[in-house]
């Protein structure tokens, strides 16, 4: 089968999430959208600036991915939302007819430090590219995502820094809830499109509950858990997810933003999360780190220089099916661009395979056993 044959045809559907099976808090379902269905649990490759780095759209599709993520902040800076809209929207612009979720830009803006100032209405910031001053508000973020033709628009929020005192976390969360209401008012409902609210509150369970109740009162098509994987550690992250999920509607998708490692994904699925994104597999692919069914490998390590075997014998991606560890090692040592391309392809393929395995295990009622078996095969990172 050629790469071109991997481009699926899409049928527009009213936006909804349908539950198919459960095992404890874990769920398997189907996300129905204007740009086609997506089986959950699902990992969304990150295409921040309209491209998944080092990958063509056909290559991304060949990994099994059916939904990708873009970013409001980066796309508003270049090429600009008006330009993308004039060129037919982000789906056409980046050759991705399937669903696209766009992050609101809140996390990126909040990461600018001294380059931004925040008030009750929004955020003024200077571009990290050239220092140009910009303004983002709940209304303008929502409007930019509309111009991009995002299938799933995210509410504009403040990603609460960690650590934060209860008072700081409460003030940040309540401002985000006020912004969420303004985002909802600005959102233009369309057949098959959606807007997700974002639960905040740091690691304080009572604040997470308050945030979830506020968002469900506003009413969104889906709900994200934000403000995690920012330094709190996996145990605190899992505890926060466990405390938050019961306050979210059973009939709406749940999205854990910016997470994470394969172990993070397995644990979050077991706790009831449906959707994930993270730069980790693509960033790791560009720096020589391979995620495999047997653990993490550093392809720059000299021990791979004469190894004729594949990165992962359980993987069918081009890096594993056609090339050896020795070849990948050579590409990285020689600074050849093909190395990051092949290893990114592999990492995304592994992440998609991991999610398919988790979904199948939920459908068959064996998630606990499957998760334990997956973890047991991971060797400590030593190569």
Q: Where are the beta strands (DSSP E) in the chain?
A: 16-23, 26-32, 38-40, 42-44, 68-71, 100-103, 116-118, 123-126, 133-136, 152-154, 194-199, 222-225, 254-256, 275-277, 289-292, 295-298
Residue 106 and residue 306: Cα distance in Å, rounded? 46
> CA-CA distances (angstroms) from residue 155 to 85, 170, 193, 276?
20, 18, 14, 16
Say how many CA atoms lie within 13 Å of 294 toward its Cβ. 10
User: Beta 289-292 vs 275-277: how paired, if at all?
Assistant: unpaired
Q: What's the chain's Rg over C-alpha atoms?
A: 20
Q: Which residues are catalytic?
A: 103, 277
| Contact yes or no for 214/180 (Cβ under 8 A) | yes
Q: Please, what is the angle between helix 338-363 and helix 367-377, to 10°? A: 150
Q: For the chain, what's the residue count?
A: 383
What would the two tokens of residue 109 be?
A: 């803006």
Residue 273 and residue 255: Cα distance in Å, rounded? 6
Sheet holding 26-32, edge to edge: 16-23, 26-32, 38-40
DSSP count for the chain of H helices, then E strands: 15, 16
């Amino acid at each position: 089968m050629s790469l071109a044959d991997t481009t699926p045809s899409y049928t527009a559907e009213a936006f909804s999430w349908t539950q198919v099976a459960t095992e404890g808090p874990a769920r398997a379902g189907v996300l129905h959208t204007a740009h086609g269905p997506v089986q959950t649990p699902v990992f969304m490759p990150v295409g921040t600036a309209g491209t998944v780095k080092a990958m063509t759209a056909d290559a991304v599709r060949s990994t099994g991915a059916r939904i990708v993520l873009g970013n409001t902040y980066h796309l508003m800076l270049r090429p600009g939302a008006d330009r993308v809209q004039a060129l037919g929207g982000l789906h056409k612009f980046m050759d991705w007819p399937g669903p696209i979720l766009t992050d609101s830009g809140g996390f990126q803006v909040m990461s600018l430090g001294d380059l931004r100032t925040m008030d009750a209405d929004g955020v003024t910031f200077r571009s990290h590219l050239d220092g140009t001053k910009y303004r983002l508000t709940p209304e303008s973020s929502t409007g930019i995502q509309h111009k991009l033709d995002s299938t799933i628009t995210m509410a504009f929020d403040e990603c609460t820094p960690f650590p934060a005192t209860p008072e700081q976390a409460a003030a940040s969360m309540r401002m985000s809830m006020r912004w969420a209401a303004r985002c909802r008012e600005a959102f233009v409902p369309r057949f098959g499109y959606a807007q997700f609210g974002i639960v905040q509150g740091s690691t304080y369970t009572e604040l997470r509950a308050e945030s979830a109740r506020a968002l469900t009162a506003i009413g969104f098509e889906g709900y994200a858990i934000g403000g995690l994987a920012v330094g709190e550690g996996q145990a605190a992250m899992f505890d926060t997810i466990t405390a938050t999920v019961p306050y979210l509607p059973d009939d709406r998708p749940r999205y854990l933003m910016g997470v994470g490692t394969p172990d993070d994904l397995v644990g979050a699925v077991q706790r009831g999360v449906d959707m994930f994104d993270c730069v980790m597999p693509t960033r790791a692919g560009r720096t020589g780190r391979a995620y495999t069914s047997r653990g993490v490998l550093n392809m720059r390590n000299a021990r791979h220089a004469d190894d004729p075997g594949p990165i992962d014998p359980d993987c069918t991606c081009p890096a594993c099916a056609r090339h050896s560890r020795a070849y990948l090692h050579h590409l990285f040592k020689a600074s050849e661009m093909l190395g990051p391309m092949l290893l990114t392809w592999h990492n995304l393929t592994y992440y998609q395979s991991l999610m398919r395995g988790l979904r199948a295990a939920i459908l068959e009622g064996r998630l606990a056993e499957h998760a334990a078996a997956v973890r047991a095969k991971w060797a400590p990172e030593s190569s």
